[in-house]
Amino acid sequence: MQSNFKFPDNFTKLFIGLALVALVASCATVQQRAADLGPGFTQVKEGIYTFAPDATTTTCSFVVTNEGVVMIDACNSPLQSRNMLAAIRKVTDKPILFLINTETHGDHTGNNFIFSPPARIINAEGAGAGMKKEYSPKRAETFAAQSPEMREAVKGEKLIPPHIEYRDRMTLNVGERTFELFYLKNVHSFADTAVWMPKERVLFAGSAAVVRILQNLRPAVVIADVLASYKLMKALNPEVVVTGHGPVTTTKTFDENEAFYALLLKRVGEMAAMGKSLVEIKKELKMPEYADWNGQDRLGLYIDVAYKSVKK
């Protein structure tokens, strides 16, 4: 009787053992592939890769589908874009079909030319006009002056505005993947897009919130709209959040930025109520709770925008 049970028992052990070996081997392959892409690359989910060169530099990402590649943003410098292109080629030889710009600024869009053609560029309505307004004809020259490598990388530079501009929302189906694009109003640039992958629960949030960074906040930003965008994006319940700058994160980045804005508005509001001028507020107001965030010299830009908001 006992010996009858021994065979299936050992067989089960062997089976579990083999399954574990297979699982460990497949995990190792996945990690290996992400590590092979070089510093700054993270595989956030199977076939979804993000390149965040450091704590503050522009983040760019790519998603592999069975039809081809979809990119999110074109990376900060032409050298980083070439690095990105090399990384994509290590993972797949499929064509780059689409490149979604999450905003209009050059550090996300200026290197569209490296991927397009063949990539078709997508962003919300007004993006092309915004990019043309912001474009510096000296861009290529400025990069070329940095180093011989950069001079090589920036060759062929030209402005590539979106081929496709959508209004409010857009669904992009590529192979087995679905990308839902949301227009976010007044949160950062002339046209901002969040990209949501519902099946994978990965959100590319753009620059309405960046990770522990005070950014170059433009005067056209409206804090109420920024906070509304956090609410919308949190309601999607993403597992992974990739913002326009900084490492891969979660919805905690929305909570942190929301708390920052709440405290800033409270302080600016109190000082304005005491009759202090914008100049006085900018001189006196401190945010020591956020002293470890990058870009401390930009606090004044935030006070400008907050002052406008409390004076409304």
> Shortest approach of Zn ion to residue 166 CB, angstroms?
19
82 binds Zn ion (CB under 5 A): no
> Shortest approach of Zn ion to residue 216 CB, angstroms?
7
- If phi over 0 gives left and psi between -120 and 50 gives alpha, with beta otherwise, what is residue 274? alpha
Residue nearest to Zn ion (CB): 105
Tokens of 187: 């949160």
Q: Which stretch binds Zn ion (CB under 5 A): 60-68, 79-87, 101-109, 142-150?
A: 101-109
> Shortest approach of Zn ion to residue 83 CB, angstroms?
20
**Tell me, what amino acid is at 124?**
A
245 binds Zn ion (CB under 5 A): no
CB-wise, 61 or 207, nearer to Zn ion?
A: 207
Q: Which stretch binds Zn ion (CB under 5 A): 96-104, 121-129, 170-178, 287-295?
A: 96-104
CB-wise, 105 or 282, nearer to Zn ion?
A: 105
Q: 3-class secondary structure for the chain?
A: CHHHHHHHHHHHHHHHHHHHHHHHHHHHHHHHHHHHCCCCEEEEECCEEEECCCCCCECEEEEECCCCEEEECCCCCHHHHHHHHHHHHHHCCCCEEEEECCCCCHHHHCCHHHHCCCCEEEEECCHHHHHHHHCCCCHHHHHHCCCHHHHHHCCCCCCCCCCEEECCEEEEEECCEEEEEEEECCCCCCCEEEEEECCCCEEEEECCCCCCECCCCCCCCCHHHHHHHHHHHHHCCCCEEEECECCCECCHHHHHHHHHHHHHHHHHHHHHHCCCCHHHHHHHCCCHHHCCCECHHHHHHHHHHHHHHHHC
Tokens of 185: 């109003």
CB-wise, 105 or 212, nearer to Zn ion?
A: 105
For 28-33, the CB contacts below 8 A with 24+ separation are: 33/90, 33/91
> Shortest approach of Zn ion to residue 206 CB, angstroms?
9
CB-wise, 207 or 257, nearer to Zn ion?
A: 207
> Shortest approach of Zn ion to residue 176 CB, angstroms?
31
By CB under 5 A, the count of residues binding Zn ion is 3
105 binds Zn ion (CB under 5 A): yes
> Shortest approach of Zn ion to residue 188 CB, angstroms?
6
- Taking CB under 5 A as the criterion, which residues in 188-217 touch Zn ion? 207
CB-wise, 103 or 304, nearer to Zn ion?
A: 103
The residue count for the chain: 312
> Shortest approach of Zn ion to residue 109 CB, angstroms?
9
> Shortest approach of Zn ion to residue 142 CB, angstroms?
17
CB-wise, 91 or 183, nearer to Zn ion?
A: 183
CB-wise, 210 or 281, nearer to Zn ion?
A: 210
Q: Which stretch binds Zn ion (CB under 5 A): 60-68, 104-112, 224-232, 277-285?
A: 104-112
CB-wise, 58 or 83, nearer to Zn ion?
A: 58
Cα 250 from chain centroid? 12
Over the window 249 to 288, marking each residue x when it contacts Zn ion by CB under 5 A and - when it does not, the resulting string is: ----------------------------------------
Question: Rule CB under 5 A: which residues touch Zn ion?
Answer: 103, 105, 207
